[in-house]
Structures are given as C-alpha cells and as structure tokens.
Amino acid sequence: MKVALFIPCYVDQFYTNVGVSTLQLLEKLGVEVVFPMKQTCCGQPMANGGCEQDSKGVYEHFVETFSEFDYVVTPSGSCTYHIKKHYDIIEQTPAVQKVRKSIYELVDFIENVLKIEEIPNSFPHKVGLHLSCHGQRGLRQANASEITGVRDGQISKLLRKLNGIELTELERNDECCGFGGMFCVTEEAVSARMGQDRIADHLRNGTKVLTGGDVSCLMHLEGIVKRQNAPIKVMHIAEILNGNQP
Amino acid sequence: MNHPDHPELAEAFNKDFERTTWHDETLWFVRQKRDKAVYPVPEFQDLRTLASEIKDHTLSNLDNYLIEFEENATKNGVKVHWAADATEHNQIVMEIIKNSCKVEGRNARLVKSKSMLTEECHLNGFLEKNNIDVVDTDLGERIVQFRNEPPSHIVLPAIHLKKEDVGETFHKHLGTTKGEKDPQILTEAARQHLRGKFVAADVALTGINFAIAETGSFVVCTNEGNADLGVNLAKVHIACMGIEKIIPKLHHLSVYTRLLARSATGQPVTTYTSHFTKPVEGKEMHIVIVDNGRTQQLGREDFRSSLKCIRCGACMNTCPVYRRSGGHSYDFTVPGPIGAILSPNIDLHKHKSLPFASTLCGSCSDVCPVKIDIHVQLYKWRQIVGQANELPAAKKWAMKGMAKVLSMPKVYNLSGKLARGALRILPHGLTHNQSMNPWAKARELPDAPKQSFKEWYEENRK
Amino acid sequence: MTSREKILASIASNKPTLVTLPNVPIFEGDGSIERFKTVLEGIGGTAVELTTKAECQEAIDKYYHDLVNVASDIVKANVAVNLDTTKEILEQVDLAVIQGEIGVAENGTVWVPESNMLNRALPFITQHLVLVLDKNNIVANMQQAYDKLEDIGNYGVFIAGPSKTADIEQSLVIGAHGARSMMVLIY
C-alpha cells in the first residue's frame, strides 16, 4: 500500500503542527507515508472564487504529484471534497480518475481504509466538535441535521472513545462557521458574525477544546477566539488523535 | 448603473448586532420547527426523491403538459392566457380587470393573495398607475405594502420587521393605538380592515402552487384563508403561474402537499389547500401562464433544476448567510440561496455578487424538498461570473497570480517563506490593519511559524 | 407568433431529453382517530367524538350556544345560505356547520368539496367553523386521501384547523382572515 500525505497549502505554511501530527499519527497507526516535496495546493481557493479555469494548471500539478500512490491522505475534508467533486473540468485521464478516487480525508482513511475504530489515547477535556461542511455534507462524513435528528459521524465516533473525554452538546450541531474560502474576506461582516455565533454556542455549552477536521474553519474560529480572548484552545483532530495535549 | 452589492448591504444589516441576532434566531426557530415536522415522517426522504423526479420528468415534457393543462382548463370554462414576459403579464391582468368590471365613478378594486410571480413582474405599481386599487391581503404582504417595501422572504414577507415596526405602521395606516405592538391585537386590526376590502373587491388575484395537467385544476395553499375569501367573494378570479408550476396528475399532488408546509413553516400542512377547477356559474376564472426568463433557464443544463422550486423558503431559513444578512440584501424578488441561482439568469451583471453570498455549506441542498443542488449551482454560477469578466479586477488578478504560484512548487515555497517571515517581523498594527485586511476586523491572523511543514519534514524525515 | 407559440417553441428547444416519471406508492401509516385528534389539536383545531351523527345538534348547543347566526344543512340554522346568498348576509354568519368528507390523520386536515359548502365563501367568511366527519373516512396520509377522493370536483378544499398567521415576528395568531376556531365532530 503506497500512501502519500497531502498537506494543504495553508496548513503547510501556518499549521506546521497539524502536518506533523498527521504524519506522526499515520506512522503510529503503522502506515508508511511518503510526502512528495513538490506538492502545493488542490486549487480550491481560486475555483471557489469563480476562476476554476485558472486552476487547471494547479489541478494538473496535483495529479502529477500524486497519481503514483494507492492512497492520498490529507487532514482536510474540504480539499478532499474539492478534488473528488471538481476535478471534472480537466481531461479524465486514468491518472486523474485514480487521484480522485484515492484521495481520503484523514479520519475517513483511518476508519474506512485502516478499519481502525479506536485510538487508545486519553484526552480528559471537554471537547467541542466543529463539523466542517465539506466533510460533513460534501463527503457525508457525518449526519446532517436537515436529514436526521441523530447526531453522529466519523470524527465523533473516534473522539468518543478517547479516555476521559467529554463532548459538548451544541445548540446548533452543524451550522457553518462562516469561513467559506474567499467568503471570509469578500463577505467579511457575515463571515465574522457566523464565526462569533459558533464560538458563542461553544462557550455557552462549556467547550474547552475546539476541534474539527478542517484547518481552514479552525483558523477562522481561532482568529475569533484569540480576538475575544475566549478560554478555548483550538486543536485539529489530527493533533488530538496523535495524543497531543492542549 | 452601480447597484450596491450583497456584501455592502449585508454589512449594513450587520451594523445592528442585536437585530441581526434576532433575525437569525427567529428564522432558525422556523428551521427547527421544520425539523420537528420532518423527522417523524418515515418516508420524508422518499418523498423528496419523488418530488424531485416528478419535476424532472415534468420539465422534460413541459410543453406537452402545458398544452394538456390549457385544454382541460379551457374545457372547465377557464380562460387561459400566455405571457412571454413581465410586461405582457401585467398588460393581460390589467385588461382582464378593465374588461370584466365596468365600474363607474371609481377605481376597480383588486384583492391579492400571495404571488411571488406578481412581485417578480412588479404588477402592483403597474396596476395602480392604471387606476386599479390593489390590496395585498396576506398579513405580511399587507404590512410591507403599507411600508412600500418589497417582501424580504417568500413565505414570511415581513420577517425583517419587529412588532414595534408593525405597530407603528398600523398606527399610521389603520389607526391602532400608538405603541400598540401585541401581534394578536395588530392581527385583529388587519382582519377588520381587510374584511372590508374582501367584501368590496371586484377581482381577486392569486398565485398558483401547483397546476394539474390531467384535470386543468390548480391548487393554492394559504394559512390565513385570504385566497379563498378573496376569490369566493369577487366576481373574477385571476390566477398567475410560472410555466414550471405544472405537475402531471392529481395523483402526484400529495407528494408536494406533504412536503410544502413541513419544509416551509414546520406545519403538517397549510391550513387551506384549495383546489380550483371550474368557476361558479356567472363568475369568471382566468389563468395567466408566464415565461419571463424561465424557458431560458430551462435551456441551461446546469441550472434548469432550479425550476423545480416549490417556493417553500426552507433554503432561506436554513441559510446562515441569509439569516445574518436579511432578504433585502439580495435585492431580488426571491432572496436567499434559491434567489442567488435564479437571479443571474435574469441579470448576471446586476446580481453577480449573489452566487458569492454563500459559504457553499450545502445546507440549502439538504433541506430542499425537491432536492435542487443549490450549492452546486452557486459554484457553477461563480464560474460563469468569472468567465463573463464580472469579477472585480483586483480579485481576478489575485486569483490568476495565486494559480500561477501554486502550480510552481519552488515559487510557492519561496513566497510562503517570505510571507511568513513578513508576518513574524511586521508589527501587529500593520498586519491587522482593518482597512487593508478585512480578515482582521474581527479576527486575529494565525501565528506564523518559523518553519513550514515542508521545511520541518526536510529537517526531520529526510 | 403569439406568446403561446413562442413559449411552447422555446420550451421545445430548451427542454432536456424525456426523463421517466416515477411511480408514487400509496404510503402506509397510522390512520387512527386518536392520531387525527392529536394532530388537529396540535394545529389549533378541536375534535369531539360523537356516537352518532344525530348528536351533532347537542354538541353545537353545548359548545356554541352563545353564537347567534348559524348556517348549516346539518343542524338547526337561522341564516339560509345558498349559491345566491349575498356577501352582506354571508358576512353576518357566526357559525357554519357543514359536512367534511375525508379526514387525514397525519395533518389533521378535512376535505370539504364545494357541494358541501352551501356557498363557496361560507367556510372562510364564517367566524367559526364546524366540520362533521364520519370516522370511517379517516385515512393515514395525503396519498391515501387523494386515492380515496378520486375526483376533486369543481372546487374543494382541505381545511386544517382555524385560519392562522405568524407574519408578525413569527408569533402564532389564530383567526387571521378565515374562521377563528375550527372543530371537527367525529361520528
């Protein structure tokens, strides 16, 4: 099994720790991981901004970088969704088709490829899970409240099994945080307000550690936490599963 | 002409923090009512699939169903009219009114129940200019009519207003006590006022929720009873519909009546689901079938499914952006996510900011009772806006530059290093300058680490 | 070219290839009187069970003794209503008691065809509405209702509870334009 690690551009540049934790976690789970050095980005930022035609070069570079692997694992549901869903505008060569199939979000990979249901770590904290939309509704990694009242999903399944953990019961379990790529600056007012409302829900319900599957949402939420000096520590799910403590 | 775009209008809306909270929570409450009505119906997801597939089928045979509908309606003694656009629609409605009620010494009187189509066609203003008195009878619509505002939501037209605002409006127009804001008392005042209008009306106009090809009948759904009260007291009934309101058979209707109210307000069904087939002896019934851009949308493969919309408003109630920016920020008859995929078809330049007024969270698509992939269409409209050169120049060139950098690993590595270096050295006041960096208005930037992951990897794993 | 021809031609050239029409099943469900009553009460209506239809008069005397102007072809009436009744007279009706045909348990709604209405405006203009319903005509859901209905006639309405609105701040107010109360007498 040849597994490659894809660390999205903004994680590479700003969240070194998330990259390191993802790598270490996969290694602990017995996966031999290759990190192709020429990787950059999946192209989503431009595409969501209405310029997918300009992203074609980025898409092609991505495919060229990763097509030799059986699995490409990344700590981002959003990038995974983008590659699966939107790499349909370039020619569907066998390499492109292979990459679109082999790309996996980290937790999805752990549960559905490695078939690991429990990671024997301890995390004695009250944890609030932010369900990132592209993982949740895009990749169907968690139930959507529009469809069912049962709150469940891949990340919460693994989290629940950590020793000593308590999960926050939110008022709005799956409302978007308001990051939304370029949206966070083009629609700054609504974006910020959405993030503030998410943080308020977590604060009201006792979250001490806020986690999720997408660094982009967490970056936005952490920006608000820090501006408000709120007593919440933000950690990516890879960091928690890797055994890091707040 | 330069129109204020969604970000500007949304920012203005957000200036009032408390009111934004209230607007968000009120609509979220409706969304929660919807959930409570939907979860206990075991076949709800099957109904969504059926509703979607029936509409897919209908759109693929729409011309024939419209002909069948017209034939049957005509047999029923209903007069069918066709309008290619809003102007023709308004003209037809006016002529029906002028021809069928020869009133002397006063204006003809029209009572209307809710019809988003007539909002789309700006019918009211046109009729008033032509000496026809128009009274919107849906309470929410009457409120916004008094205030000379468009509705801000397709099901809850006055949801942008608080009871104090309504109290003020009714004090001015209906003479209620100044400061009176009890919804019960205000609604009673409207009831008394509108009963007079119903009794005095010459013509009643309604929208159409569903038109049944097989029988030539049409269905109108209301909670207040204003549609039935209006049409059953007036001599003439005019019903206006977009071409997409057709369903093939009566048998299909139940799929939609089971979905509509549950999705819209969380009621198991609207109070009145009224089926009109034939007029009473001596009275008139007219149907106006309107295109106004719909056949063009039908021809857009990526966007035609937007015509499946049954106007329940669930995508507005669920949309975190709509709830925090208000219906008027969309500046289009149908606001919210569905409006953001309908409006570019009508005027791409004017509505170019709407496909971007979304985080693409996908809640709208999951809540939609006819399974329109709204967020997918938002993404696709963005590409069309981009291709049509409608993006702001700065954004376009930033995107192009970014795409270049991201396809060249070495350039990417270097620019990342330089940017992080700059962030680490520059003073907070500069990196967080709010006029240069909108991110920083409400948020801190992430700490820039010394090493990128790549640099760490090279040092530790190679 | 008329607008009709223009629209139809435009549809013909823009529509996609024919998509199959799905089969709509008649979904099963709970069609009990209890469920019908619970749901109806949840939407602001009331339901009263009688042993026979003959008890309607007694029920009306009990619940509506304070109402003056009654229109009905089922119980004692003092306002005669038919197709020709004027608006001015209809406006005075306090209570209408008419026959409902089918009750739907999932949403508390009752089918009232034109033939039962005395006048099309009556069920809406009356201040209070009572529908009389045979308990054997309660079905589980709307699929079953339309299936039972077969023909919708010239005009017919499913009525679910009293007229209501929530257009002011989402506060529910009963009695918008139509009936201020709605009772179903089930026999």
> CA-CA distance, A18 to C17, in Å (whole number)?
49
Which pLDDT band, with edges at 50, 70 and 90, does B3 fall under? confident
Chain segment B372-419, per-residue pLDDT in tens: 999 999 999 999 999 998 888 877 888 888 888 888 888 888 888 888
Q: How far apart are CA B208 and CA B260, in angstroms?
A: 13
Q: Out of B66, B270, B277, name the one closest to residue C155 (CB).
A: B277
Amino acid, single-letter form, for residue B319: C
A167 close to A30: Cβ distance less than 8 angstroms = no
**pLDDT tens digit string along B119-172?**
999 999 999 999 999 999 999 999 999 999 999 999 999 999 999 999 999 999
- From CA B236, how far away is CA A192, in angstroms rounded? 51
CB neighbour class for B349 (10 Å; exposed up to 12, middle 13-18, buried from 19) = exposed
> CA B239, CA B207: separation in Å to the nearest integer?
5
How many domains does chain C fold into?
Answer: 1
**C52 assigned to some structural domain:** yes
Q: Give φ, ψ of A138 to 5 degrees.
A: -70, -50
Beta strands in C34-180 (DSSP E): 46-49, 70-72, 95-99, 102-104, 109-113, 128-133, 138-139, 155-159, 164-165, 173-174
d(Cα A106, Cα B304) in Å, to the nearest integer? 36
In this prediction, the answer to ipTM > 0.85 reads: yes
Query: What confidence score (pLDDT) does residue A221 get?
Result: 98
Rounded distance, CA B369 to CA B315, Å?
Answer: 9
Instruction: Please identify which residue in the block is written with the tokens 């049954």.
Output: B310
Spans of chain A, pLDDT less than 70: none
Query: Phi and psi for C48 in degrees, rounded to 5?
Result: -130, 130
Alpha-carbon distances of A151 from A144, A160, A167, B48, B221, rounded to whole Å: 8, 13, 12, 21, 33
Q: Looking at the domain B6-10+295-387, which fold is it? A: Fumarate Reductase Iron-sulfur Protein; Chain B, domain 2 (1.10.1060)
Is residue A79 within 8 angstroms of chain B, CB to CB?
Answer: no
Kindly state whether residues A188 and A213 are assigned to the same domain.
yes
Question: Which chain C residue's Cα is nearest to B276?
Answer: C155
| CA dist., res. A148 & res. B214, Å (int) | 35
**A·B CB contacts under 8 A:** 216
Cβ separation A194–B324 shorter than 8 A? yes
Cβ within 8 Å, pair B363-A146: yes
Give the pLDDT confidence score for residue B155 in this predicted structure: 96
pLDDT digits (tens, 9 = 90+) for B264-305: 999 999 999 999 999 999 999 999 999 999 999 999 999 999
CB-nearest to B442 from A43, A180, A224 is: A224
- B246 near C CB under 8 A: no
Which of the four CATH numbers 2.120.10.30, 3.40.50.10420, 3.40.50.720, 3.30.70.2860 does domain B41-292 have? Answer: 3.40.50.10420
Please return the burial class of A157, using the count of CB atoms within 10 Å of its CB with bins 0-12, 13-18 and 19+. Answer: middle
Q: Which of A82, A112, A142 is the last residue of a domain?
A: A112
Cα dihedral B341, B343, B348, B351 in deg (nearest 10): -100
Residue A120 maps to a domain: no
Sequence-distant (≥ 6) Cβ neighbours of residue B384 within 8 angstroms: B344, B348
In a domain, A117, yes or no: no
**Is residue C22 assigned to a domain?**
no
Pairwise CA distance, residues C17 & C5, whole Å? 20
Tell me if A160 is assigned to some domain: yes
CA B261 to chain A, closest CA, distance in angstroms equals: 15
- Rounded to the nearest angstrom, the minimum Cα separation between B141 and chain A is 27
Single-letter residue type at A94: P
| Backbone φ and ψ of B211, nearest 5° | -120, 130
Residue in B closest to C23 by C-alpha: B50
Per-residue model confidence (pLDDT) at position B1: 54
pLDDT at B418: 84
Q: Chain B contact for A49, CB < 8 A?
A: yes
Chain B contacts of A183, Cβ < 8 Å? 356, 358-359
Q: What residues in C contact B54, CB-CB < 8 Å?
A: 21-22, 24
Q: Report the helix count and the strand count for chain A, using DSSP H and E.
A: 13, 8
Residue C12 resides in a domain: no
Q: How many residues does chain C have?
A: 187
Burial class (CB in 10 A: 0-12, 13-18, 19+), B244: buried
Q: Is C78 inside a domain boundary? A: yes
Distance CA B21, CA B432 (A): 26
Could you tell me what percent of chain A has a pLDDT over 90?
Answer: 99
Residue A20: domain span: 3-112
Please name the chains neighbouring B, where neighbouring means 3+ C-beta pairs under 8 angstroms. A, C
* C21 lies within 8 A of chain B by CB: yes
Q: How far apart are CA A189 and CA A229, in angstroms?
A: 20
Structural domain contains residue A190:
yes
> Which residue of B324, B439, B448 is in closest CB contact with A190?
B324
Residue B94 in contact with residue B127, Cβ under 8 Å?
Answer: yes
At B40-84, the pLDDT tens digits run 999 999 999 999 999 999 999 999 999 999 999 999 999 999 999
Rama region for B264: left / alpha / beta (φ>0; ψ in -120 to 50; rest): alpha
Residue to test with chain C: of B194, B251, B254, most C Cβ within 10 A: B254
The distance of A186 to chain B (nearest Cα, Å) reads 7
- What percentage of chain A reaches a pLDDT higher than 70? 100
Interface of C with B in 65-94 (CB under 8 A): 83, 87-88, 90-91
* CB contact at 8 A, A223 and B444: yes
CATH number, domain of C149, equals 3.40.50.10420
Per-residue pLDDT, A183? 95
Least CB–CB distance from B60: residue in C16, C91, C177: C16
Res. B19: pLDDT tops 90: yes
Tokens 């119903």 -> residue: B198
Nearest alpha carbon to residue B368 among B26, B117, B38: B38
pLDDT digits (tens, 9 = 90+) for B192-211: 999 999 999 999 999 999 99
Structure tokens given for B302: 């990526």
pLDDT at residue B324 in the model: 98
Q: Determine the distance from the C-alpha atom of residue B235 to the mean position of all C-alpha atoms in its chain, rounded to a whole number.
A: 31
Distance from CA of C52 to the nearest CA of B (A): 27
User: CA B154, CA B157: separation in Å to the nearest integer?
Assistant: 6
The minimal CB distance from C155 to the residues B215, B251, B275 is found for B275
Number of domains in chain A: 2
Assigned domain for A182 exists: yes
Return the SS3 of A131.
coil
Q: Does C115 touch chain B (CB under 8 A)?
A: no
Q: Specify if A121 maps to a domain.
A: no
